[in-house]
């Protein structure tokens, strides 16, 4: 990289830092120096409605799980174990988010309620931990076997909630081509 490019890059970085550090102070000044004010009792019902409308749908949360779980597969194929651990944690956290949001889901086919917490607890202490342990041991052979077991656990949950048509499979395509899965990547620095 030339000295001119380094200078311009440093200048842009410094400008961005100055703007970033100045914005919180500016917004506090615009608010009159006060933080957000709590709603009045009359405003609470509308606040609750607004917040409920901002909560992601179950399918949105599960699309995040799918995205992270697929990238986990490809990170393991490249033996990028720190990245695999990251994707594992993200997928697990999103599953937990769904369980917190909807501890019970209605099985429309059977007309019954299904307790997601119990299903998650079973998966979390078995197949999810098997995958985590394979990542920690950096064991590609066990990882692939345990990843398949976890997909079977996913499908068991799908069947339990009346959605047997959501059938997971081993990833065939990397969904995020912008993330370099190579643990020895040298760029960017």
DSSP string, 8-43: HHHHHHHHHHHHHHHHHHHHHHHTTT--PPPPPTTT
Residue 9 pLDDT grade (very low, low, confident, very high; cuts 50, 70, 90) = low
Range from 15-19, 134-138, 155-159 carrying the lowest mean pLDDT: 15-19
Q: What is the pTM of this model?
A: 0.75
Q: Is the pLDDT of residue 34 over 80?
A: no
Q: What is the mean pLDDT of residues 148-155?
A: 97
CA distance 180 to 78: 10
Q: What is the mean pLDDT of residues 131-156?
A: 98
CA distance 101 to 25: 34
Q: What is the mean pLDDT of residues 129-133?
A: 98
Does CATH number 1.20.120.290 belong to domain 56-160? yes
């Amino acid at each position: 990289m030339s000295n001119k490019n380094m200078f311009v890059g440093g200048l842009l970085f410094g400008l961005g830092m100055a703007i970033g550090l100045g914005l919180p102070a500016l917004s506090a000044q615009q608010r009159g120096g006060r933080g957000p004010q709590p709603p009045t009792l009359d405003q609470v019902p509308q606040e609750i409605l607004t917040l409920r409308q901002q909560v992601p749908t179950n399918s949105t949360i599960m699309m995040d799980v799918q995205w992270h779980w697929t990238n986990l597969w490809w990170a393991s194929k490249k033996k990028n174990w720190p990245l695999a651990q990251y994707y594992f944690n993200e997928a697990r956290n999103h599953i937990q988010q769904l369980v917190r949001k909807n501890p019970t889901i209605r099985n429309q086919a059977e007309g019954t309620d299904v307790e997601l917490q119990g299903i998650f607890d079973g998966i979390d202490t078995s197949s999810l931990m098997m995958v985590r342990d394979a990542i920690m041991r950096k064991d590609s052979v066990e990882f692939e076997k345990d990843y398949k077991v976890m997909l079977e656990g996913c499908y068991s949950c799908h069947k339990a909630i009346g959605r047997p048509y959501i059938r997971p499979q081993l990833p065939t395509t990397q969904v995020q081509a912008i993330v370099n899965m190579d643990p020895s990547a040298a760029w960017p620095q």
